Chain A
Amino acid sequence: MRDSLGDVESVLVLGGRSEIALAAVRALVARRTRTVILAVRDPATVTHELAELRVAGVDASAITFDATAFATHDGVLRDVWATHGDIDVVIVAFATMGDEDESARDERAARDVIDTTFTGAVTAMNATADLMERQGHGSIVVLSSVAAMRPRQKILTYAAAKAGLDAYARGLGDRLHGTGVDVTVVRPGFVHTRMTAGKPPAPFATDAPTVGKAIVEGIRRRSPVVFVPDVLRAAMPVLQLLPRPVWRRLRE
């Protein structure tokens, strides 16, 4: 059960290999979190992370979760609730960035990015929202991106899918108003992770632990939208207002 200062006991990560989500989990465990469930395509890929959490005294487990097996989401989440009882926080952290040139050419590549990043997140959020509404409280954290606010051409498909996800998550937050469940949309700028390795960093680049801390603070304050770093809250609207010819010339 969450307490009045925003400390939580249990967290489920959908996309449990996400470095950003794991950084948030570490920050939560440093406070009161004692139950962590990592939902991943293959539980064997997070044995190291589970061991690390168990050393910290956490009841940590992994479950199988396929982001694009939409029909299974409801059942997988119900099983989590049936096994662990109430879950205070669910972090929706899975996404596929893909290769933009491939997405532009190959229908399957484009669909993979969209299905994972947008469609799968929507079905998972809806299943989560239903269970949390029944328990009368909870926080859903959705990892979006500043790219959702004005898609860059280098990652157009991914950014557009994130834009859809971002819009859906904010609307879900409105739908859940008054139910005791809140939705926090997290919009990091460029984050140095596996997913972005080798890509040229954008201005205001940050790292996973910083985003993790910002997520914990967002949960604590029930913030509807969190920017990391915070300066992007002011900078992004300016970028959005840039005339299109200028924006086009900005592409790296």
Chain B
Amino acid sequence: MTVSPPEHREYAEAPELLQGWGGTSPSRSIVWHPHDADEVAQRLHAPHDGTSTESEDDVDADPMPRGVVARGLGRSYGDAAQNAGGHVLAATALDRVLELDADAGTVRCEAGASLEMLLHLLVPLGWFPTVVPGTRQVTIGGAIASDVHGKFRHGSFCDYVEQAVLVTPAHGPITISATEHADAFWATAGGMGLTGTVTEATLRLHPIETSAMVVDTVRCADVDECMAAMVEGDGPYRYSVAWIDCLAKGRALGRSILERGNHARVDDLPARHRGKPLAYPSPFQPVVPFTPPSGLLNPLTIKALNELWFRKSPAHPHHGVRSIPSFFHPLDNIVGWNRVYGTRGFVQYQPVVPYGQEAVIRRMLEQLAVHGLASFVSVLKRFEGANAGHLSFPAPGWTLALDIPVGDPELAPLLDRFDEWVLEAGGRVYLAKDARVSPEHFAAMYPRLDEWRAVRNRLDPNGLLNSDLARRLHMLEK
């Protein structure tokens, strides 16, 4: 068998119109499907001699003239995993689980492996990924690039990444961790795929006795009561989240359902389930069959849905056993739920503000209610700490996530105003959700941006890694 020299290698690639999960900002990229991690290393690390000029006639000579960014399952809401006119590395084929170390409680897998897949493998063996975001449909590479968080408030995804292999244009594959190439590791944690492409990672797992959750549910009359309940009572719970009804006004402003839980022990299960405590069946998943016109979800229907969501929760504090999917990923149970927002799509606005700035959260809820800008199932969570990631989102404080349909011309200026309040409060917005923050606000919200750029530029001196997000927020400049 002959192997063609790298410069003549044929890559599996084709142009495709890509969008984020919010269904906004379409742009066309050339989607490249690498077969294995070696192919990634070969193409990203291919020596650029620096003699090629940028003139249009040389476009064919440069294999990726507008750069490249990796894409997993496309769950970031905005434009992070697309690269208009350039290349996008589709990582989902690199999905092998490489090694499970039951003694150490770690799993090593390729970056395109999804949490869905890992849960099916790990839960029956008594292990659980320490940090699980609101969807199982994320790749490990994507989870690192966004340093995702979940209902676990003691850290985010990268805090439990033992090590990872990062393919960088400057050095090819390097092993990074909190101790080895630490600056590259922390620039990559939340670095939105712009420091290199992660091809594999080792995750620290949490041992579980059963595949069930014991969950306590309480209704809170308003947002203040909800926040107070979280601060006072979160202690014994590993996971906590509040679902807020944003359309309730006046005294009911921010009425919410607080759900807190722990992994169930065998004793917690009903007797008939104790025989197979770790069984993890696939739930039935209805599919949204088509994208309805925008406007199906409007203030009126969202109000009705929020009412339903609120009423379906028990009126009195309730203690019960639930499955992992129903507690962690309720929306995953409807495949393609994002499509119900219609052809114009939706934006998710997720800021974090420090403790003591609760008034900002309340003010945002008030303004949304005043403008009748509806958000279905808004989520409030807390973070206890932050990690060393330069652009990592979590910070001690409150984080609110709002899904808002696109269409109302008032939305853009209103969210700009929210940005200013968040900035004043010393907070920031989450890049994995963002699709509209201004470059100026972004730079002010992430004061370690220049530090990140310095590390990034060392790993990718020619600016090969690029994305629509990076262009929109001027992330690579300076």
Contacts and interface: CB of A to CB of B under 8 A. Distances in A.
Interface of A: 1-7, 9, 31-32, 78, 82, 86, 133-137, 178-180, 217, 220-221
A220 B27 contact: no
Given A1-B472, A7-B412, A136-B28, A32 B85 contact: no
A135 B85 contact: yes
B208 interface: no
28 contacts: A1-B79, A1-B84, A1-B468, A1-B471, A2-B472, A3-B79, A3-B435, A4-B20, A4-B78, A4-B347, A4-B435, A6-B412, A31-B412, A78-B56, A82-B56, A86-B471, A134-B59, A134-B85, A136-B84, A136-B85, A137-B26, A137-B28, A137-B85, A137-B468, A179-B17, A179-B28, A180-B17, A180-B28
A233 to B, nearest CB: 17
B22 interface: yes
A4 B29 contact: no
Given A1-B471, A4-B436, A86-B471, A135 B84 contact: yes
Q: Which are the 7 A-B pairs with shortest beta-carbon distances?
A: A136-B84, A136-B85, A4-B435, A4-B24, A1-B472, A180-B28, A137-B27
A interface majority secondary structure: loop
Nearest to A181: B28
A3 B436 contact: yes
A178 B28 contact: yes
Contacts of A7: 412, 436
A136 B466 CA distance: 13
B435 A32 contact: no
Contacts of A78: 56
Given A134-B85, A136-B85, A3 B472 contact: yes
A136 B29 contact: yes
B411 A5 contact: yes
Interface of B: 17, 20, 22, 24-29, 56, 59, 66, 78-79, 83-86, 344-345, 347, 406, 409, 411-412, 415, 435-436, 438, 468, 471-472
B17 A4 contact: no
Contact of A217 (B29, B79, B409, B436): B409
B273 to A, nearest CB: 44
Nearest to A134: B85
A136 B16 CA distance: 10
Contacts of B438: 32
A3 B25 contact: yes
A79 B435 CA distance: 29
Given A134-B85, A136-B27, A180-B26, A4 B56 contact: no
A134 B79 CA distance: 18
A184 B24 CA distance: 17
B28 A2 contact: no
A9 B474 CA distance: 11
Contacts of A134: 59, 85
Contacts of A4: 20, 22, 24-25, 78-79, 345, 347, 406, 435-436
A5 B406 contact: yes
A178 B345 contact: no
A197 to B, nearest CB: 31
Contacts of B468: 1, 137
Interface centre among B17, B26, B438 (most CB of A within 10 A): B26
Nearest to B29: A136
A2 B415 CA distance: 16
B344 A221 contact: yes
Interface centre among A7, A82, A137, A221 (most CB of B within 10 A): A137
Contacts of B347: 4-5
A82 B84 CA distance: 17
Contacts of B29: 136
A221 B412 CA distance: 13
A46 to B, nearest CB: 27
A32 to B, nearest CB: 6
B412 A2 contact: no
Given A32-B438, A136-B84, A137-B84, A5 B28 contact: no
Given A136-B27, A136-B86, 16 more contacts: A1-B472, A4-B347, A5-B24, A5-B436, A6-B412, A82-B56, A86-B471, A133-B28, A134-B85, A135-B66, A136-B28, A136-B84, A137-B26, A180-B17, A180-B84, A217-B409
A3 B24 CA distance: 8
A233 B213 CA distance: 56
B357 to A, nearest CB: 25
B345 A180 contact: no
A1 B409 CA distance: 19
A15 to B, nearest CB: 25
A137 B29 CA distance: 9
A133 B29 CA distance: 10
A177 to B, nearest CB: 9
A221 B85 CA distance: 22
Contacts of B435: 3-5
Contacts of A31: 412
Interface centre among A78, A134, A180 (most CB of B within 10 A): A180
A221 B408 CA distance: 10
A3 B27 CA distance: 11
B388 to A, nearest CB: 29
B20 to A, nearest CB: 8
A9 B439 CA distance: 10
A241 to B, nearest CB: 27
Interface centre among B17, B83, B86 (most CB of A within 10 A): B17
A9 B472 CA distance: 8
